[in-house]
Amino acid sequence: MTFTVVDHLHMAHALRLAERGLFTTQPNPRVGCVIAQGAEVVGAGFHQRAGEPHAEVFALREAGERARGATAYVTLEPCAHHGRTPPCADALVAAGVARVMIAAEDPFPKVAGRGIEKLRTAGIVVESGLLRDEARELNIGFFSRIERGRPFVRVKLAMSLDGRTALANGESKWITGAAARADVQRWRARSSAILTGSGTVLADNPRLTARLNEGFSLSPMGRGQGEGRVLATDSPDAEAMASVPPLRVVLDRHLRTPPDSHVLDDSAPTLLLHGVAAACPDDRFSQVERAVVAERNEAFDLSAVLALLAARDVNEVHVEAGPTLCGALFAAGLADELLLYVAPILLGDSARPLLKLPPLVDMAARWCLQLYDQRMLGQDQRLRFRPAS
């Protein structure tokens, strides 16, 4: 299948529009749409928030009568079912578009080819696959949840040049500089959930919120690169994101979280996961939701944790935890990406290590990672690794 330069330009435009929903569409995918007559764009839009109109609707509204005979460029297969909004495939048919270009097919069972079938049945030419990898990357968590039954797991760690994450007494503020810390807030903001363990709560008392009041702008992540267009914090996109904060998830097998912990306040929705035998003598957890998760070998069954989160429509999990939990995710093959910040400092031999992993019997058993992206943030370096295929 041959795509023209104009096709590439319009689909790239649609992807840039889709990125504007990076912080706001959970649990829905981020989708953009461009309606064009040849090289001329006559309508454009993106999905802004779950329950509100999809990208195609906004684009068709802007195009009006000029949509008839035009080509629609959509980053994800148009829906073909009645959910909280009517089917977008029906809207495209009613508008009289002649051709629909789709970046990626939608694996959601109620769509999964039905949108394409409905369009073709109406006589519309449908082509797919243009910038498919970029479209899937933009919605990597959505595809993971639907196709694998678990969220995409991103483990965030910060370390010194000698591979240490904290002093021997647990002090870790601050290893990295302001630019790196602001970048972490953006990664938190795009996630469906922020996960940590009770050890981190006891040691650091983190807030685990996406804080936007620190003078930086939201910057959607470019496809495979990290930064793209900048959104001011007073934009509608930022306001929508701020009104739907990521879910805080605390793994606390024995309900050790102290009553004055920040994660027990009402600044963000919180889910506390514990073992079946755990008990609490007071009402410290009255402000948060609790759920029991299966255990294995005196630890959480992490696959069960992720399955529970997927059932709650969680697409991306951002992990900020200690070396034990982070190491367990890697050892179980459940870490999809390592977001690593490296500061130009040295902490010494007595400082705490990056990860706690089981010993290897030989080099053939080593964990191999592939560098996906790297960039400088002030004096710090940000590296993104994914498991080598």
* 123 and 29 belong to one structural domain: yes
The answer to whether residues 157 and 136 belong to one domain is no
* 239 is a domain residue: no
Enter the tokens of residue 301: 């069954």
Residue holding tokens 């006559």? 42
**Residue positions in the annotated binding site for NADP(+)?**
158, 174, 200, 204, 322-328
Catalogue the active-site residues: 56
The pLDDT score that the predictor gives to residue 174 is 81
Q: What is the pLDDT of residue 185?
A: 93
Shared-domain flag, residues 109 and 176: no
pTM equals 0.88
Structural domain for 293, as ranges:
149-211+244-387
If asked whether residues 111 and 197 sit together in one domain, one would say: no
Residue 345 covered by a domain: yes
Q: Which residues are annotated as a binding site for substrate?
A: 172, 188, 208, 211, 320
Q: Are residues 97 and 193 in the same domain?
A: no
CATH assignment of the domain containing 270: 3.40.430.10
The whole-number pLDDT of residue 81 equals 65
CATH code, domain carrying 63: 3.40.140.10
β pairing state of 32-37 and 152-159: unpaired
- 160 and 81 within one domain: no
The total number of structural domains that make up the chain: 2
Annotated binding-site members for Zn(2+): 54, 79, 88
Which whole-number Å values give the CA distances from 191 to 122, 203, 210, 217, 255, in the listed order?
Answer: 38, 23, 9, 17, 25
Residues 14-71 have pLDDT tens digits of 999 999 999 999 999 999 999 999 999 999 999 998 888 999 999 999 999 999 999 9
Question: Residue 266: what pLDDT?
Answer: 85
140-157 mean pLDDT: 97
Least confident interval from 2-6, 213-217, 269-273, 356-360: 213-217
Burial of 174 (0-12, 13-18, 19+ CB in 10 A): exposed
Return the number of other C-beta atoms located less than 10 Å from residue 360's C-beta.
10
The answer to whether residues 75 and 94 belong to one domain is yes
- Give the dihedral of Cα atoms 220, 226, 230, 232; nearest 10 deg: 60
My answer on whether 371 and 289 are in the same domain is yes
Same-domain status, 169 and 97:
no
In a domain, 104, yes or no: yes
Strand order, beta sheet including 125-128: 40-46, 32-37, 71-76, 99-104, 125-128
| Residue 218 is assigned to a structural domain of this protein | no
Are 133 and 163 members of one domain? Answer: no
Per the model's pLDDT, the better-predicted residue between 213 and 205 turns out to be 205
State the pLDDT confidence band at 355, using cuts at 50, 70 and 90.
Answer: confident
Which range, of 78-92, 257-271, 331-345, averages the lowest pLDDT? Answer: 78-92
Residue 180 — very low, low, confident or very high, per pLDDT cuts 50/70/90?
very high
Quick check: is 335 in a domain? yes
β-strand 380-387 against 337-342: which pairing, if any? antiparallel
At residue 271, the pLDDT reads 97
Query: How many other β-carbons are positioned within 10 Å of the β-carbon of residue 259?
Result: 10
- pLDDT given for residue 83 in this prediction: 64
Pick out the residues of the known binding site.
54, 79, 88, 158, 172, 174, 188, 200, 204, 208, 211, 320, 322-328
Q: Which of 120, 140, 160 is the last residue in one of the domains? A: 140
Task: Label residue 277 by pLDDT band (50, 70, 90).
Answer: confident
